[in-house]
Amino acid sequence: MTGTRTIALVVAFAVLALLLQQSFFIVDPTKQALVTQFGAIVGKARTEPGLYLKIPFVQDVVRIEKRLLHIEADEFELIAGDQKRLVVDAFARYRIEDPLKYYQATSNNEIGFRGQLSNLINANIRRELGTVPLQAVLSERRGQLMREITELLQGPALREYGVRIVDVRIKRADLPKENSEAVFNRMKTQRQQEARQLRAEGDEEAQRIRAGADRERTILMSEAEKKGATLRGEGDALAIKAFADAFGRDPEFYRFYRSMEACRNAFATGTTMILSPDTDFAQFCEYKGGTAAPSKK
């Protein structure tokens, strides 16, 4: 009998614990909750964190994210205002502010809602960027365009979902691959042309500098040679004048000296000469061992 009572108490406590568990639920600060009964919403949304009561086994709790959410929109291509093609990759941040509207509009189907939101973001970006030139998207004006797109997305379309767009940003805005390659090739060709032009200008400048240097060298060498010739001529003139003054004092000695010079130069290399003793040259030279010496006459 005691054993049966013990089992009954254990079962009673288990049922009581299960009832308590099913009667209360906790909403943490990152979530907000809705209570449903047979699929219908009961009461207001629980948006504040805390402990709440519900009817066990009859009512269910649907928890919805309260934090700031992030969505990557699908990459798409558009035509800018200046008819240039552009590939855009954007993202947005949003928050579910009215969980009741969100649940009624989406049945808490997050995947389906994110697909609709991605299409809505792309449509508004396409509409806004389709009126401005490509340069505006790539310049400082881009921030203003993003604010305008955010304001458009904060309109009635998303308010029906109980969602508010906080921010929209373009992560990447590029030309299509084929256009990018064409632009790259054109830029490459332009740079090659600029390089050839710079090299040609450099060669021209180098030739001009070398020509100027050669011209200055030629002028300097000519002036140096001219100055050297002038100095040599002046030196020779002074030497000749000195010799003339010296030898003019004694013509006979000058004649003798010049004959000795001629004799020494004639026999300096051991040359053998046959001369008549009656010649003036022979009178000043005699041959001894093939070496010229002054005559004893």
In the chain the domains, ranked by start, together with CATH numbers, are 2-65 (no CATH), 69-175 (3.30.479.30), 250-294 (no CATH)
Q: What's the chain's length in residues?
A: 297
pTM of the model: 0.54
**Would you state the structure tokens that stand for residue 71, as one six-digit string?**
């969505």
User: What are the residues whose beta carbons fall under 8 Å from the beta carbon of 128, sequence distance 6 or more?
Assistant: 145, 148, 149, 152
With 0-12 / 13-18 / 19 or more C-beta atoms within 10 angstroms meaning exposed / middle / buried, residue 2 is exposed
Helix segments in the chain, DSSP class H:
2-23, 99-106, 110-129, 134-137, 142-153, 156-159, 177-248, 251-266, 280-283
Residues 6+ apart with CB under 8 A from 36: 42, 59, 60, 61, 62
For residue 38, the number of C-alpha atoms closer than 13 Å in the C-beta half-sphere is: 0
Residues in Cβ contact with 40 at an 8 Å cutoff, skipping those fewer than 6 apart: none
Sign of CA dihedral 84, 89, 94, 100: positive
Q: How far is Cα 214 from Cα 196, in angstroms, rounded to an integer?
A: 26
Pairing of strands 291-294, 285-288: antiparallel
Name residue 86's beta-bridge partners. 78
Read out DSSP for 17-60? Answer: HHHHHHHEEEE-TTEEEEEEETTEEEEEEE-S-EEEE--TTTEE
Q: In this structure, what is the dihedral angle of CA atoms 177, 182, 186, 188, given to the nearest 10 degrees? A: 50
| CA dihedral sign of residues 185, 186, 191, 195 | positive
| Angle formed at CA 241 by CA 235 and CA 247, multiple of 5 degrees | 135
pLDDT tens for the chain, 297 residues: list them.
577 877 877 777 887 777 777 888 899 999 999 999 988 888 889 989 998 988 888 889 999 999 999 998 888 787 787 777 788 888 899 999 999 999 988 888 888 889 888 888 888 888 888 888 877 777 777 788 888 888 888 888 788 889 999 998 888 777 666 655 666 677 888 888 889 899 999 988 999 999 989 899 889 888 898 888 888 888 888 887 777 777 777 777 777 777 777 777 766 666 676 766 666 666 656 543 344 444 443
Cα gap 148→282, rounded to integer Å:
124
Give the pLDDT score at 102. Answer: 92
The whole-number pLDDT of residue 182 equals 63
